[in-house]
Amino acid sequence: MNYAELFATIIDIWVKGGWLMFPLALLALCIYLAGFELVFFFRKYGFDKDDKNTWGHWIDKPEEGTGMLGAAIRFAQEGSKQLDSIRSRVKELRHAYINPARRRIYYLSILVTVAPLTGLLGTVIGMIVTFNGLSSSRGSALDVVAGGISQALITTQTGLIIAIPGYILVHHAKRRCQELDGFFSELEIRSVQKLEKNQQAS
């Protein structure tokens, strides 16, 4: 099959799917834009993926830290002479990085949930068309029935094809969010331990 035939087949399937194919295409675009935005977000702010020995050393000597990770460590420790101050600063870091990620994940989860439901709506519409065709006494009833069944199957399949990779993206994003949250917990613990050690030494 050449490209022209493939394109013609795709157009034919698209037309048979009915008007709901347009909302499904828009949903697919929104889902994958939101999903890849999350992937790039965690790639940019994935502090937990940096070498633990490196940022562990930066906690002891924050002035040697580089990049956004070094800046985050310095922010957590700068001027912090009380345990509550460190905890408050790490909480601010969580608010700055974790909360935006969670909002994006929530938005993506809604879109992914809507996709198969939109496909199911297409199934219902297709079955209504089919039953209308069956109750019709016109000679073209068979064509109407075939068109209704095609619409029902195509929209359902399209909704599932869109949603399944979306669910994978949501699962990946939730796992990365938990890992990033775990990093901030470890940053807080190590910074508190450093402060307690300094207080005991003095």
pLDDT value, residue 31:
93
The DSSP code for 18 is: -
Q: Classify burial at 7, counting beta carbons within 10 Å of its beta carbon; exposed 0-12, middle 13-18, buried 19 or more.
A: exposed
> What is the pTM (predicted TM-score) of this model?
0.79
pLDDT value, residue 167:
93
Tokens 């101050």 correspond to: 85
What's the rounded Cα separation, in Å, for the pair 191 and 93? 14
- Could you read off the pLDDT of 162-174 as tens digits, one per residue? 999 999 999 999 9
Going by C-alpha positions, the residue among 44, 37, 162, 184 that lies closest to residue 107 is: 37
pLDDT value, residue 182:
87
By the 8 A CB rule, do 113 and 29 touch?
A: no
Give CA separation, 85 vs 4, 73, 75, 135, in Å.
65, 13, 11, 74
- Residue 24 CA, chain-centre distance (Å), reads 18
The residue ranges of the chain whose pLDDT is under 70 are: 1-3, 6-7, 10, 47-50, 79-80, 133-148, 201-202
